[in-house]
Amino acid sequence: MTTRRPLDDIRIVAVEQYGAGPFGSVHLADLGADVIKIEDPRNGGDVGRYVPPHQSGEDSLFFEAFNRNKRSLNLDLHTGAGQSVLRDLVACSDAVYSNLRGDIPERLRLRYADLCAANPRIVCCSLSGFGMTGPRRAEPAYDYILQGMTGWMSLTGEPDGPPAKSGLSLVDYSGGYVAALALMSGIHAARRDGVGMDCDTSLFDVAMGMLTYVATWNLTAGHVPQRMAHSSHPSIVPFGAFETADGWIVVVCAKEKFFVRLCDVLGTPELPADERFNNVSSRYRHRAELLPILERALRAKRSAEWLALLREAGVPCGPVNTVEEAFLDPQTDARGLIVTTEHPHFGTVRSIGSPVRVGDAPPPARRAPQRNEHADDILRGLLHYGDQKIGELSAAGAFG
């Protein structure tokens, strides 16, 4: 018996490139959606194919990380013939998904108003830097720029150091998740109501939205957030990274009981009774007095020793791992997070699988497509084009 995947009945035409867009759709592909990746033949397809250092020809390990389980088709949407093929794809699809500059969907006719004649239930989801409205709609945007613009970098790093970005492109990745959520919500509504729509998602909106309580503090109470030493939490103490005899660990005392347990482990059981440290508010006010005490104590033993003692006592904690050490954590294997695919140049490619879990069966993994690899499958098998029509479209520049 074949087990159907959750999105086996969803088809998405993805005019996507590089990171944010492909990251959003790869989770949908892992869940079974037929993601048809449209690649512009004028410039060699998705620019992600050429990202070093692990790159060969038109393939890279960067591209592999974002495009598992998708199909690829060369299509020049700047031509009338390419637009004709797009409309035929729209007629048998649920969504058109793009991550282009905010003014490009209008120019390439990727909005609902442009495509609803081909399919009234089509959902047109745009993920752009600044959205399809507003004074910045035509500006290019990248994750690093948005981390700076939206205040993230002012909150990251040591207090006496320069502003810093996150070690990962979290605006891009969060934007991909939000776009995938918007797209699936749109498909649900279109199937219920028989009418599609536009979904206008922007990385700027996502990055601003993720300011959450910091935004509320500032907008409502005028609070000015500051960078905290050792990645500490702005209001809960202790809650951050602590140096040990041989490295760093993270200790989190988000509840009163955890602070009491921590003090017992550190041999400072008198601290919870001290009026300076006996509740969340007092520890917040007296963090400058409390943290040096804890820091001195934690530097006395090695990380592994402290982690064993703290876990046994029920104190939330963890190591500050390297990326390689994170892969070796037994939880990584237990959760089946590493997936393998076979590639003609890179051999066995080991990647991180999608954290989106629906049902019990692990999703199958198929390597990222070579450019235009699925042209015959899509043009002949899905759209039922014959040789003559493919020849005419080709002559008219549809495929580059």
Q: Are 294 and 242 contacting, i.e. CB atoms less than 8 angstroms apart?
A: yes
d(CA 313, CA 319): 16
Residue 30: name the closest of 354, 395, 276 by CA.
354
Closest CA to 99 of 177, 42, 195: 177
Residues 253 and 261: their CA atoms lie apart, in Å, by 9
Choosing from 172, 264, 329, 333, the catalytic residue is: 172
Residues 345 and 57: beta-carbon distance below 8 Å? yes
What CA–CA distance (Å, rounded) separates 54 from 115? 38
How many CB atoms are closer than 10 A to CB 336? Answer: 11
Active site residue 172: yes
CA distance linking residue 236 with residue 267, whole number of Å: 21
- Nearest residue to 49 (alpha-carbon basis) of 12, 5, 18, 8: 18
Q: Give every CB contact of residue 332 below 8 A, 6+ residues apart in sequence.
A: 326, 338
Q: Using CA atoms, how far apart are residues 100 and 130, in angstroms rounded to an integer?
A: 10
Q: List the catalytic residues.
A: 172
